[in-house]
Amino acid sequence: MARIAESATIALDLGDRVVAVTVRRSALAKRTAIRIDPLRGAVLVLPPRASRADAERFLLAHRAWVAERLDRLPAAQSLAPGQRVDILGEPHVIRHCPAARRGVWIEGGELCVSGLAEQVPRRVTAFLRNQAKAIIARHVGELSARLGRRSGRLTIRDTRSRWGSCSSRGDLSFSWRLVMAPEWVLAYVVAHELAHLVEMNHSPAFWNVVASLSPDAARARGWLKRHGAGLHLIG
């Protein structure tokens, strides 16, 4: 029985195009399943004993579903002049201002960027990261004071698998892309991670702490479920 390496891919012919399906074997999987990841595309999850032939048969049987779901994915968006980018949920159009000497600034609903045109995406990204750090740091300070707990080091990253994390030492890490979400969503993610300073788990006690810090917790989780993948396609 031919087996598939965990890092393997299978080419799937969808008729109008051929896509590479990432194959992941899971010791916990009871059956073969496929999901659509906004960044990696189609991902096939196999139980331990599934063969390559099993995987290929499953993909052929589900290729119409794969094609439909891939077509639903939002298109990637650059941070080039003329594109729209949300800052705390408010839309801003990126405008290139080559003659200005102000760096990057917000003016009249636009995100203005000076310098060379080819530098615009990089400068916009840097601006958004800095904004994210300042806004998240403010929420960390306010909410940790309410908890009566001190957090550790704050780091801003471009994480793909999670929006934030809290280590056992209280060090915090957040995705800079949260700055594109509404502020009440960003505040929820901060509250979620700070709640781990009290409960390093996801027990009912943990969720009670989250609720005490973020009255919009349920609504924020719903927003991230619906729109979070799109934030990873920007830039």
pLDDT, tens digit (0-9, with 9 covering 90-100), for 126-175? 999 999 999 999 999 999 999 999 999 999 999 988 999 999 999 999 99
d(CA 162, CA 4): 27
What H or E segment, with its residue span, contains residue 116?
A: none
pLDDT at position 229 is 87
Q: Is the dihedral of CA 175, 136, 179, 155 positive or negative?
A: negative
- Of residues 77 and 4, the one with the higher pLDDT is 77
pLDDT at position 98 is 93
pLDDT, tens digit (0-9, with 9 covering 90-100), for 163-211? 999 999 999 999 999 999 999 999 999 999 999 999 999 999 999 999 9
Q: Are 95 and 109 in contact (CB under 8 A)?
A: no
d(CA 144, CA 152): 11
What H or E segment, with its residue span, contains residue 53?
A: helix 52-61
Q: Is the dihedral of CA 172, 185, 130, 147 positive or negative?
A: negative
pLDDT at position 235 is 86
pLDDT at 6 over 80: no
pLDDT, tens digit (0-9, with 9 covering 90-100), for 8-40? 899 999 999 999 999 999 988 999 999 988 778
Does the pTM exceed 0.85?
Answer: no
Q: Which of 45-72 are b and which e, b meaning 16 or more Cβ less than 10 Å from the residue's Cβ?
A: bbeeebebebbbebbeebbeebbeeeee
pLDDT at position 197 is 97
pLDDT at 1 over 50: no
Q: CB under 8 Å to 211, separation ≥6 — which residues?
A: 217
pLDDT at 47 over 80: yes
